[in-house]
Amino acid sequence: MVGKISQSIAGTPHDDCTAQLQTITVLEVIWFRLSPHLFTAISLSETPFHQYPFYTPRFWHGMKPLAWFRLLREGRFRISPSRVGIVIGVTIATPFNTIMGGLQKLIFRRRLREAELHGTPVFIIGHWRSGTTLLHELMVRDERLSSPSTFQCFAPAHFLVTEWFFRRFANWLLPGKRPMDNMAAGWDRPQEDEFALLTMGLPSPYRRIAFPNEGPVDIDYLSFEGVEETAITDWLQSLRRFLLNVSVATGRPLVIKSPTHTGRIAYLAREFPEAKFIHISRDPRSLFPSTCRLWKGLDEVQALQKPNNETIEPYVVECLEKMYEAFHQQRESVSPERLIDIRYEDLTADPVATLRNIYQTLRLSDFDAVEPTIQAWVETEHKDYKTNQHQLAPEADELIRSRWASYFERYGYV
């Protein structure tokens, strides 16, 4: 029972180096396979996901034809009949994205060519469900800062010419809340730049969401381990181009948030020499069930095939291990004055004090000027937010304490 087996996870046709070799103990495999109701056992209550109307755009609707075709090919066109409507809608939308993208280049050619980042970019990193979204929302209350919006990440090819229309006339397309939790949704809300990279057709672990039953995709891009230097350079340049485009729209310093950046910190620090980083941690006993719910919710509303949810739990375990092995190695190359560690528990207990600590430690700007605005947002818009409640099954608790032991110890959750 303590022996090991190897499970090969196939990569994508467009990048053979994404093939991964995942090692899992026999005991863990048996536990995952013989616990079909694991997710139910994890949650204190089976809180239903928020409704996601059939007409709401999916991630893929912002793709151009070539990126869309590659995604379908990587998933071997294994589309469920119930998801054919999404596929048809995206296929119709892709030429529009190409046309609007060409129009944006024509109209904004000079401004895009001369674009530059305004001020110091700030990257929020940390595992999914560790409070990165809450921190992102809090920081963009400071009107001196900006962030990629949901629409900009949804339509990276043409948001400079189309965002105004969607914000003004098409807010009804999006639900009021995200499917997996009670955070507000909207075209103007701050969003993960990883979704823009996904839509642009770049390698991203989020490509798994399209065909979740086929296994992990581009997991090596969580740390760039094993990825060729030329591919890393191209990827970073694409990220820079997107952020420059956002800077053209906002004209202010950017607060950039994506959990996937956690294991890329050294590469981002080199690409953006002035950047500052905020790392947030959370009790793994909450991270694990909450992240399982996150992927289950995204797969349910975004996938092109009906998800079977068979690989979610081992995927969550694997991702944290990979991300944090890289993060703990790479953070040593980032000078202390550029990186701060905070805890989710402290952020939720006293958001204002936590933000003040961040501003002072990273020397961002005068916090006194924005404190009333942040305090007002906490007391009004975020006042009624309720965190999903979870309770770990004993077997799940034992597993993550073993596999995530270094995270427990390093961030004080033992």
pLDDT value, residue 387: 67
- φ/ψ (deg, to 5) at 7: -115, 120
Overall pTM > 0.75: yes
pLDDT value, residue 384: 62
pLDDT tops 50 at residue 73: yes
pLDDT tops 50 at residue 4: no
pLDDT tops 60 at residue 257: yes
Quick one: CA dihedral 222, 261, 136, 390, positive or negative? positive
pLDDT value, residue 391: 77
pLDDT value, residue 307: 97
According to DSSP, residue 130 is labeled S
Integer Cα distance of 226 and 325 in angstroms: 14
Across residues 152-162, what is the average pLDDT? 98
Q: What number of other Cβ atoms are within 10 A of residue 323's Cβ?
A: 25
pLDDT value, residue 311: 92
CB 399 within 8 A of CB 28: yes
pLDDT tops 90 at residue 382: no
pLDDT over 90 percentage in the chain: 79
CATH class (in words) of the domain with range 50-389 = alpha beta
pLDDT tops 90 at residue 356: yes
Across residues 87-95, what is the average pLDDT? 98
Across residues 393-397, what is the average pLDDT? 91
Q: 260-284 in b/e burial notation, b at 16+ Cβ within 10 A? A: bbbbbbbbbbebbeebbbbbbbbbb
> Of 46 and 214, which is predicted with more confidence?
214
Q: What is the DSSP string of 332-389?
A: GGS-GGGEEEEEHHHHHH-HHHHHHHHHHHHT-S-GGGTHHHHHHHHHTTTTT--PPP
Integer Cα distance of 211 and 71 in angstroms: 9
For the chain, give the mean pLDDT: 88
pLDDT value, residue 3: 35
pLDDT tops 50 at residue 119: yes
Length of the chain: 414
Q: What number of other Cβ atoms are within 10 A of residue 179's Cβ?
A: 20
Integer Cα distance of 147 and 190 in angstroms: 6
pLDDT value, residue 381: 75
Across residues 140-149, what is the average pLDDT? 97
Going by pLDDT thresholds of 50, 70 and 90, the confidence category of residue 24 is very low
* Contacts with 169 (C-beta within 8 Å, 6 or more apart), sequence order: none
CB 1 within 8 A of CB 27: yes
Residue 106 sits at the vertex; the CA angle it makes with 101 and 107, to the nearest 5 degrees, is 100
CB 170 within 8 A of CB 237: no
Integer Cα distance of 71 and 159 in angstroms: 22
Helices 394-403 & 26-33 angle (0-180, nearest 10): 140
Least confident of 45-49, 189-193, 332-336, 344-348: 45-49
pLDDT over 70 percentage in the chain: 84
- φ/ψ (deg, to 5) at 228: -65, 145
- Give tens-digit pLDDT for 164-191: 999 999 988 887 676 555 667 789 999 9
pLDDT value, residue 20: 39
pLDDT tops 80 at residue 85: yes
Q: What number of other Cβ atoms are within 10 A of residue 49's Cβ?
A: 16
> Of 86 and 184, which is predicted with more confidence?
86
pLDDT value, residue 55: 87
pLDDT value, residue 32: 40
pLDDT value, residue 299: 96
pLDDT value, residue 185: 75
> Of 268 and 177, which is predicted with more confidence?
268
Across residues 49-58, what is the average pLDDT? 79
pLDDT value, residue 191: 96
Integer Cα distance of 180 and 122 in angstroms: 26
Integer Cα distance of 130 and 192 in angstroms: 14
Across residues 320-341, what is the average pLDDT? 97
Q: What number of other Cβ atoms are within 10 A of residue 153's Cβ?
A: 26
Give the number of C-alpha atoms closer than 13 A to the C-alpha of residue 340, restricted to the C-beta side: 19
What residue has token string 């961002």?
364
According to DSSP, residue 283 is labeled -
pLDDT value, residue 175: 75
Going by pLDDT thresholds of 50, 70 and 90, the confidence category of residue 30 is very low
Across residues 254-271, what is the average pLDDT? 98
